[in-house]
Structure 1
Amino acid sequence: MRANAYVLAADPHFLAASIRSYYDRVERIIVSYDRSSTSWTGTRLPVDQCLTIIKSVDVDGKCVLAPGDFWQPGEEPIANDTYQRQVALDQAGEGVDWVLQLDTDEVMVSPDTFFRMVERAEAVGADALEYPARWLYARVGDVPGGGRYLEASTRFWRPAASFPGPLAIRPGVTLDCARQASTAVSYRVDIRPWHTDRVQGYQRLVHDVVGVDDAVVHYSWVRPDDQMRRKFGWSGHAATYSRPAVYQRWVERAQRPWRAVMATPFRRHPAWLRLVTIRPEAEDV
């Protein structure tokens, strides 16, 4: 079973840790970026910084630079997002069985488990592997050998996975919303025998189960304050994230994590959070 990957060179935070987490398991990594360093929303991106980081990580010469024109004025940001990913997927899919599509702030902490699930997806003829991710909201403190984080949870603080799209996918599959592929036949893995992602509903079939500690760690909103504002601006979901209230809630919860946790049962999803310790932490920039 041969695998490649693609990365979108736009966000330097956790980029090196993400690539290193699966670097030895793939043959080639397509590095997709806008040649004008422009985001899906028309803002500037730190592409040069990302390429410098990637060069330092690429000790075996696996990374292939693939510039393109992915900011399309007049298109919705999510459409630009999907277009870039589709181009990268098609480029990465040449000559292999599977393509990894982890975002650059997602770190694979258990590669053996992940690729065992890819093999099971392959065995049943699936087109995509839906693999659980732990969604981190903010870093709120230090512990020996790690850090304390607010993490997405159930209403009563149990672990809850997120599924932004298949993390491994067959070449030739058509993406329809960022990483999502609604027409693909998916092999779904979760951290419990039932689907734990409240966004997608609990009725989805789960084919396999892994431990919470085997899930990919998504350092999604773990950023310095100024970088968080930039991330909200360039995201494919900028229309939602750029609302002042979204940023203000993030600041308040990061500053008062226990209040955010204790209020969780009384809030609506997605404001359900729990406190967790991550050891070891992924390196930031």
Structure 2
Amino acid sequence: MNPGDEHDYRSADRGGRSDDPYSTLGGTRQTRTRLPDGDAGHPQARRPVRTSRSLVMIVGVVVLLIAAIAFANRGGGSDDDASPGAKDRESAGSGPTAATGTKPVQGKNGTIASGFARDEQGAQSAAANYAVALGSAEMFTKESRHRILDAVYTPEAADRLRAPQDQAYSPEFLARLGLDPEGNAPKGSTFISRTVPVGTKVLAFDHDTAKVAVWYTGLIGMSGQDSTKPVSTSWKTWTAQLAWSGGDWKVTGGSESDGPAPVPGDVPASPSDTISKVVEEYGGFTYAR
């Protein structure tokens, strides 16, 4: 799968009397002479003594600034303050990738996040996490594929999709990717398949069902010296139909389309051994809004 919804001098003019590099005082090259207080020709005004009232005012302003900064950085309040549904999107400061403060992920079903909130935010988090699972390398072996289907789909949908999925991951398809009929990579090579969500969008929502689009980028290919299918990237959008089932959001169906895809960057491709190493060293994420 391939995800993707969701970043950005000055000069000061010099001038005036201080431009004189040899200036003693403001560029005049003059020396100031302080006259005694009370001189008739050159009266000197004394600086007023700073009173305790001024100090109290300064301290008060500092305290107010600290309080304002602390309030601004509080991070969205408690879970009880978060409003579900369309109210979240209409609230001031919210945006397509803004966090709402509610924790949508409460647990895990195996290695897949579960226990999502029964609101739009929870539906988006569920769709993003399910996209990661369905785009993983574990989908290419039968046992782990069935386990993912049971965790992601409703029981009815999982039963319906199990046989067609097994047919889709046929020995012929696996061979085109460099895998054996069981979905295993050759010795000395690493098969890579990852989905990285970039953004989500709610297309429809009610209390029991939701339709969520996940824009993502994907990695797929074989990393190894003899590989003829090097790891490449793709950009796709997966649209998931979700239903509230068994106390959680589950997939009932979905569709996938290409793009939107950005212009490729100019970073040169890394050697296959580097790709294999980073895939082993860098784990995936649990996605939550």
| Fold shared by both chains (TM-score > 0.5) | no
| Rg larger for | 2
TM-score (norm 2): 0.24
With normalisation by structure 1, the TM-score equals 0.24
